[in-house]
Structure 1
Amino acid sequence: MSRNMDGDIQNIKKWIVFYPIYINSKKTIAEGRRINVSKACENPTYAEIYDCCSHLKLPCAIESEKSYPRDFMQRGRVRVQLKREDGSLYNPAISSRKQLMLHVAELVPRHPGRTKKQEPASASTAGPSKSGKGGKKKR
């Protein structure tokens, strides 16, 4: 089920867990966001986070069957390894979980799949807000 860069899954349980909700600007701190809203990105997916971690040259693996404990509808997470067995860092720019979140949140909006989706998404966000207001008037 999980996919990883190197193909080996020996100590994957020791790797850090990265849920998309950690860097989602649409969520509150209470709902699970872990970085500042101004630095967070809008609705990241676990696939985008995986691609960003791969881009940062970090060993990572997708666990698509796992869900976030506070919101079981949020499916998927990424396991990331920051340090080698000897304790040296894979990427010297990223030494902590928090730095990883900030780097990934910066990269996700520039993700190739996201730049294509951006135009239709902005048109569709205007539509539901109007229908949402109409729904409140009917009640």
Structure 2
Amino acid sequence: MNMDGEVPNIKRWIVLYPVYINSKKTVAEGRRISLSKACENPTCAEIGDCCSYLKLPFAIEIDKAYPRDFMQRGRVRVLLKKEDGTLLNPSISSRKELMFRIAEMVPRHHGRTKKQEPASTSAAGPSKSGKGGKKKR
């Protein structure tokens, strides 16, 4: 509910599928921004966190899927403008601008920065076992 006590019409909010900003996808597969600005495998939760950081209302719809990639479930609806047309965040004036900002923020997402530390230690693990495999031959 918003401040007036009425339920917002989520159907009128813009839709963001993670594939729109995924650097692992081609334009034919649904990417909407340039490869240099896109990020690697964003999730709906990460996009939602970025929207809350930008102080934009959002809703994650888990039961929906992008038609060209129906295996990846979920999309995010975001409200950019109020009913009277004024922007909720003056620095974001369009869907494209929002995609650029989110793609820029996702790699710095707190969930990703935590995941990278154990990944670097586990990356050293397989190389040791790889050396062991060579000795056996």
Q: What TM-score, normalized to structure 2?
A: 0.81
One-letter code aligned to 1:14? R
| 8 A contact 1:5–1:54 mirrored in 2 | no
Matching of residues 38-117 of structure 1 within 5 Å: 38-117=36-115
One-letter code aligned to 1:99? E
Map Cα deviations across residues 10-61 of structure 1 (whole Å, 9 max, x no partner). Answer: 3100000000000000000000001111111100000000000010010111
**2:37 is the alignment partner of 1:34:** no
Q: Flag the 1:18–1:5 CA change in 2: closer, same or farther, 3 A.
A: farther
Sequence identity percentage: 73
- Measured in 2, the distance between the counterparts of 1:9 and 1:31 equals 34
| 8 A contact 2:19–2:30 mirrored in 1 | yes
Higher Rg: 2
| 8 A contact 1:25–1:40 mirrored in 2 | yes
| 8 A contact 1:5–1:60 mirrored in 2 | no
CA drift of 1:118 comes to 2.0
For the residue of structure 1 that corresponds to 2:50, the secondary structure is helix
For the residue of structure 1 that corresponds to 2:114, the secondary structure is helix
For the residue of structure 2 that corresponds to 1:90, the secondary structure is coil
For the residue of structure 2 that corresponds to 1:21, the secondary structure is helix
For the residue of structure 1 that corresponds to 2:84, the secondary structure is coil
Q: What TM-score, normalized to structure 1?
A: 0.80
Structure 2 unaligned segments of length 5 or more: list them: 127-137
For the residue of structure 1 that corresponds to 2:48, the secondary structure is helix
- Measured in 1, the distance between the counterparts of 2:110 and 2:44 equals 14
Q: Flag the 1:5–1:100 CA change in 2: closer, same or farther, 3 A.
A: farther
More displaced stretch, 7-16 vs 55-64: 7-16
